[in-house]
Structures are given as C-alpha cells and as structure tokens.
Amino acid sequence: MGKKPEEYSIQLAPLPAVSFAKNDIDFIDPTGVNHDSLGVGLNKALYNFMHGVGLDEDIRSWFEDRVPRSKVKRDFIAQALCEK
C-alpha cells in the first residue's frame, strides 16, 4: 500500500524527519474505516502466526468488533505455491 497508495485510494501522511523504520506509516483513508479497531485483532493474528498457534481458529474470534467471514479459500496459498 505504501508503494502505490493511489491503487488503494489512500493518501500517505508525511514521514517524520527522523525515524527508525518505515514499516508503520500513517495514512488518510477516505472510506471512514476505523483502522484502530482492527489493531488488537491484527496484532493477535500476527502473534499467533509467528508462533504457529491458533491457526485453525476462526480468525473472527481475535477481533472485538464484528468482522465479516473471510472470502479467501482455505487452500489459496497452497494453490498459489503449486502454480510456481
């Protein structure tokens, strides 16, 4: 998203003059989505993935707010790897 923000209809906020890393860049999303409400769930998802736990759980359980069911097929990554 940071390399081509126009493809995601967002605007990047100016970067600070000095920063340690550029992996968390503020942006303006005109859709009105509350990205902060996703933060806790996304942090849980990343932690679980990195530690290989909870991978068979319904990902919606990691979020406090209602989250729609995933539209990605369970074998999406396996299929993508087979196409190589």
Give domain limits for the chain: 1-33, 34-84
Local confidence band at 17 (pLDDT 50, 70, 90 cut-offs)? confident
What pLDDT is recorded for position 84?
Answer: 65
| The dihedral sign for the CA sequence 22, 24, 25, 31 | positive
What pLDDT is recorded for position 51?
Answer: 93
Tokens, residue 19: 């920063």
Task: Let me know how long the chain is.
Answer: 84
What pLDDT is recorded for position 72?
Answer: 86
Amino acid symbol at 41: G
- Structure pTM? 0.49
Q: pLDDT, tens digit, for every residue of 45-57? A: 889 889 999 888 8
